[in-house]
Structure 1
Amino acid sequence: MRARDLGVKGARGWVFRGVELDVPAGALVAVSGIAGTGRTALLLTLAGRMRPAEGTVAVGGATGLRRIQRVAALGIVPGVTELDPALTVREHLDEALALREGVLGRFRGREARRRRTLERVGLDVAPGTLAEELAPDEAQLLGAALALAGDPALLLLDDVDEGLPAGRQHDLWRRLAGIAAGGVTVIASCHDAAPAEGLATHALPL
């Protein structure tokens, strides 16, 4: 994934500007900054969901919004992609798998695929658990699992340290590093990148 001189401008001026990023497949990138530094806008831009005012983005060989959207997936990004609190883990997974596999997929070992999808992100919760009952880190991992159902090359998650003590933040970063080790580039935003030290391969402070 490569970004060159990337910037997004809003009604009140530049949201972020001059971002440079060059990471290989399987990298784990920690994007850190306080609220208002443009972390969410940057993730959406890297995912092809927001058009930059200047600069370029490429994911693998994909450039341009539509092509990047085909290879990049969003985990939980508040206000953009969120879990439905009234649905269970199983229902969320079934919906994501159905979008990928179609109607016939439900008859072809769906239970095994649910299990593998959760194992891929290291999430161990009962399938009947409601989304509203998940801890913040469990919700982040479920969001990642749903995004990975489409086999993207790039996974982006926002505010991964929100509501978590430092120890659980570190454990979440460890699980994200495990996802990246499978060949998916993972870019996650946070307030403080310290718990990601030794796990994130790249850091981008804003």
Structure 2
Amino acid sequence: MYVDGVAILARGIAARGPAGIVFANLDLRVEPGALAVVAGPAGTGRTSLLLALSGRLPLITGYLDVSGHVLPAQAKAVRQLILPARLRPGYELENKHRVREAIMERRLISGVSERSIDAALDKVRIAPDRTALIDELHPAERLLLAVALTVAAEPAGILVDDVDAGLPMSARAQVWAGLREVTRTGMTVLASATDPPSGDVELIPLPAREPDRPTKVLDLQEEVTR
């Protein structure tokens, strides 16, 4: 398996949620095939940023380009490039399904083959009991199963929210190792965590640093002419 991962460029982006501004004045660059980790305490907009970078939350200002697709105008194309493996709340495996049922459902929805799913499970180094309930799996194995089911469709990028939530250190290491294996296919991994891993990650810290002067909003024409 090899895919062309997404590249992301953002300048001065901001987004608003029901309770107000969730992040603002944020600049970032993510290279194709990177493990990019949005890191910060709860309430700093980690999930909202993942949603925005994947075309699922509109920006109120700033410039955002995902592999040549400028948001918000081309958000639909970006949503097809970047698929969620886990986003909280609302996008997780159903705990009362059995592993085999989750696999069958993903095959029906995504049209992926059993062989592709087996290869993705091998990639993240798990072999879950297919008769077990999702809720019976270890949290690390449950998360990596969600990752594998998404990777099997070979998107250009995946979203993995709250990687370290509820995991002991040894289990966190297992999950981060699995995500690094995914990036070796060329796929871009956009993750969020309270405590990011060390090493070869592209760190996106939140809350965003306040700029020394007001951030200028870049429009598409200005970006093209640079």
Same fold (TM over 0.5): yes
Amino acid at match of 1:40: T
Structure 1 runs (4+) greater than 4 angstroms displaced: none
Identify the match of residue 32 of structure 1 among 33, 36, 39.
Answer: 39
Matched, 1:175 2:178: yes
Structure 1's 56 and 137: CA in aligned 2 closer, same or farther, altered over 3 A?
farther
- What SS class does the counterpart of residue 147 from structure 2 fall into? helix
The residue type paired with residue 204 of structure 2 is L
Question: Aligned-pair distance for 1:85?
Answer: 0.9
Contact 2:36–2:203 (8 Å) recurs in 1: yes
Deviation at 1:48, TM superposition (A): 1.0
Contiguous gaps of at least 5 residues in structure 2? 1-7, 207-226
Match of 2:146 among 122, 143, 147: 143
Identity %: 35
Residue 88 (structure 1) aligns with: 98
Contact 2:120 2:148 survives alignment (8 Å): yes
In structure 2, distance between residues paired with 1:203 and 1:76: 19
Q: Deviations over 1:100-124 (max 9, x none)?
A: 22xxx7xxxx543332231132222
Equivalent residue for 1:72, pick from 60, 75, 82? 82
Q: Deviations over 1:129-160 (max 9, x none)?
A: 21111222112111112222322111111101
User: What letter corresponds to residue 65 of structure 1 in structure 2?
Assistant: A
**1:197: which partner in 2?**
198
Count of aligned pairs between the two proteins: 196
- Give me the whole-angstrom Cα distance separating, in 1, the residues matched to 2:18 and 2:91: 23
Q: Which amino acid aligns with 2:64?
A: V
What amino acid is aligned across from residue 16 of structure 2 in structure 1? K
TM-score for both structures, normalised by structure 2: 0.81
Q: Which position in structure 2 is the counterpart of 1:126? A: 129
- Structure 1: gaps of 5 or more residues: none
1:13-49 residue CA offsets vs partner (Å, 9 max, x unmatched) = 3100122221211100121111100001011111111
Residues in 1 aligned to 2:41 and 2:152: alpha-carbon distance in whole angstroms: 31
Q: Secondary structure at the match of 2:25?
A: strand
Structure 1 residues 7 and 133, CA gap change in structure 2 (3 angstroms): same
- Whether 1:61 and 2:68 are equivalent positions in the alignment is yes
Q: SS state of the match for residue 75, structure 1?
A: strand
**Match of 2:86, SS?**
coil
Following superposition, the deviation at residue 192 of structure 1 comes to 0.9
Q: What is the CA–CA distance in structure 2 between the aligned matches of 1:92 and 1:62, rounded to whole Å?
A: 32
TM-score under structure 1 length normalisation? 0.88
Counterparts of 1:10 and 1:100, CA distance in 2: 30
The root-mean-square deviation of aligned C-alpha atoms, in Å, is 1.6
Larger helix proportion of the pair: 1
Paired residue type of 2:147: A
Aligned pair 1:99/2:109, yes or no?
yes
Q: Against the structure 1 CA distance between its residues 168 and 61, is the aligned structure 2 distance closer, same or farther, given a 3 Å change threshold?
A: same
Deviation string, structure 1 residues 144-196 (Cα, Å, up to 9, x no partner): 12222322111111101011112221221111111011101101101111xx1
Cα separation, partners in 2 of 1:11 and 1:127, compared to 1, 3 Å? closer
Return closer, same or farther for 1:114/1:148 CA change in 2, 3 Å cut-off: closer
Counterpart amino acid of residue 197 in structure 1:
S
Query: One-letter code of the match for 1:39?
Result: R
- 2:112 matched to 1:112? no
